Amino acid sequence: MLVKAPPKRPERAGAAAATPTMVADRWALVEQGPARPGQIAPLEAWLESPAGAGVWVEGDAPVEDVAPRLIEAPVVAVRFAAFADGRGLTFGKLLRTRYDFGGELRAFGEIVPDLTEYMYRCGFDAFVLANRRQAQAAIACIQRMSDHYQGSFRQPLPAYRRFAEQPQGAVARHS
């Protein structure tokens, strides 16, 4: 089951984010090449024929080595080999912030719905989950908090900076 969330940052601090939804997956993830349009292929196969295809990488891939080649892909899928392995989060955050990747950033593999909120905050905007129940739980997790203290890809300024920069007399609003 695929959950899609809004791909971009909100235009302004405090702006309501669009709701993540379950959608039909128009991409087919393949374990080996060659890469074809409409498929998400492993990095090695994608490098040979990237036209129209998406690419997937392991979460522990060295982002500095592969990111410059990935930024033109319409979809980059990051495989999470274990739910406790956070290297894919770092990969996604760096791909979005350091390399300005603007395509779909998808998480697949051992995806736990409780962690989709953190993935979303790191810049992931699509999540492959095992079933409808997990997809519904992931949507609820992404929506459960309206504001965060720490900065993230979605809201780069931490809360103390956002509230400090409000004009004097303005009332801080929390949704």
d(CA 105, CA 175): 27
- pLDDT single digits (tens) 29-65: 999 878 999 999 999 999 998 999 999 999 999 999 9
Res 131 pLDDT > 80: yes
- Residues contacting residue 147 through CB under 8 Å, at least 6 positions apart: 14, 159, 174, 175
* Torsion sign across C-alpha atoms 100, 102, 103, 104: positive
Domain ranges in the chain are 2-164
**Paired strand residues for 22:** 3
- pLDDT single digits (tens) 100-116: 999 999 999 999 998 99
The pLDDT assigned to 11 comes to 45
Strands (E), the chain: 2-4, 21-23, 28-29, 39-42, 54-58, 75-80, 104-109, 126-128
The pLDDT assigned to 136 comes to 96
Q: Please, what is the Cα angle at 88 between 28 and 149, to 5 degrees?
A: 120
158 pLDDT band, cuts 50/70/90, is low
Better-scored residue on pLDDT, 159 or 79: 79
**Paired strand residues for 75:** 104
Largest CA distance in the chain: 60
The pLDDT assigned to 5 comes to 87
**Domain 2-164 belongs to what architecture?**
3-Layer(aba) Sandwich (3.40)
pTM beyond 0.85? no
Average pLDDT along the chain: 84
Of 98, 141, 95, 85, the closest CA to residue 118 belongs to 141
